[in-house]
Structure 1
């Protein structure tokens, strides 16, 4: 099973939105028996909380389920269990290093930035709607990036959908 983990600061806005969107794309593409999706934050302020009301509102608007998503903090095991860890911005990338165990070698996950998979984003980092309030912009960026990420994983892993 291929695990994809999305990471942001508090795990209530960007990473749970990416988790929900990516989970839907995985299901629609017929890979739900091969890819599992999760999210976590580098901070611990919101552990156990559901996604931010702005994230829930935009996901409800587009009829994307966020059932079962609760904020949690990144743990060392995430580096052993995940094949892909995708962060929302440069600060998340820096913060992630404090959780990374030593000596993973070839077992280390692929770590990348979300917007590296966007088809047309001019931004380098996914803006944090907790501060900007612009959940629609984040939704559009994540929709595009999630599609690119799924294609990247399918090609990199040599996946074929099972009927």
Structure 2
């Protein structure tokens, strides 16, 4: 059995590619890259085809986390059918994903990233495109990715 994880933010150049790269790194360290597939997308179309934001790239480079081959793409309705976990970086992304996928009710496979870290008391991952604070986002992403990996492993009974 496989699990497919999609991270979604607004432009797919800051938060979701950071989460994709960090989660991929964690999955590889756990030796689970054959059973967990990872991707990211944005709800907007402004950055399609572009690499991650310079701030995300610099942070990942500093930490030795690969983002090789990553290019921004837009979330599409089919993604909802393909992925088992659609992890949205904020409330607006979650609403946009549900609207695009035609989801009228709550669905366990679509959730906010910060739902993985309820003890933080924060509902949305701040957007470093506007705040410039990539380190703050990384700290949340790292901790959330560890929680997500534990959840996926439990769901797959690994």
Structure 1 length normalisation: TM-score?
0.90
- Equivalent residues of 1:119, 1:148 under 8 A apart: no
Q: Which runs of 5+ in 2 are unaligned?
A: none
* Residue 61 of structure 1: aligned partner: 62
The separation in 2 between residues aligned to 1:124 and 1:102, in whole angstroms, is 21
The separation in 1 between residues aligned to 2:103 and 2:12, in whole angstroms, is 24
**Following superposition of structure 1 onto structure 2, how do residues 6-155 of structure 1 map, counting pairs within 5 Å?**
6-101=7-102, 110-118=109-117, 120-155=119-154
The separation in 2 between residues aligned to 1:84 and 1:102, in whole angstroms, is 14
- Equivalent residues of 2:18, 2:138 under 8 A apart: yes
The separation in 1 between residues aligned to 2:132 and 2:43, in whole angstroms, is 20
2:8 partner SS: strand
Q: Which runs of 5+ in 1 are unaligned?
A: none
CA deviations on 1:133-153 (whole Å, 9 max, x unpaired) are 000000000000000011011
Structure 2 length normalisation: TM-score?
0.93
- Residues 142 and 127 of structure 1: is their aligned pair in 2 closer, same or farther, counting only changes over 3 Å? same
The separation in 2 between residues aligned to 1:72 and 1:16, in whole angstroms, is 10
Across the aligned residues of Structure 1 and Structure 2, the Cα RMSD in angstroms comes to 1.6
- Equivalent residues of 1:83, 1:109 under 8 A apart: no
| Structure with greater helix share of residues | 2
Q: CA deviation at 1:118?
A: 2.4
2:120 partner SS: coil
CA deviations on 1:13-59 (whole Å, 9 max, x unpaired) are 00000000000001101110100100000000000000000000000
- Equivalent residues of 1:3, 1:82 under 8 A apart: yes
- Equivalent residues of 1:20, 1:64 under 8 A apart: yes
- Residues 145 and 98 of structure 1: is their aligned pair in 2 closer, same or farther, counting only changes over 3 Å? same
- Paired positions, count: 155
